[in-house]
Amino acid sequence: MLTTSFELPKSHCRILIQIVAITSLILLVGEIIPKVVANKFPLKVASFMAKPLRFLVSLFKPLSFMLVASSTFIDKTLKP
């Protein structure tokens, strides 16, 4: 006997609501609010973020160098 109605158990509904709520919160806090603040105060945000970005660039520069060097080596090795 086939039924056409589809009902989720209450536990599945709770999980779905939690997923939607957490996803919305992440989008709001991680994407939308920073863009709005940066558009309203571009100079302050740029000044505030300059030092952490410089630190991250210097931190990841050796890793970036190794990845570029290894990919260049592989590229040269595989070319006929």
Q: What is the dihedral of CA 7, 13, 19, 23, to 10 degrees?
A: 80
Asked whether 45 and 38 are in contact (CB, 8 A), the reply is yes
Whether pTM exceeds 0.75: no
Please say if the pLDDT value at position 44 is more than 70: yes
Please say if the pLDDT value at position 14 is more than 80: yes
pLDDT, tens digit (0-9, with 9 covering 90-100), for 45-78: 999 999 999 999 999 999 999 999 999 999 999 8
pLDDT given for residue 73 in this prediction? 94
Percentage of the chain exceeding pLDDT 70: 90
State the pLDDT confidence band at 2, using cuts at 50, 70 and 90.
low
Phi, psi of 18 (to 5 degrees): -65, -40
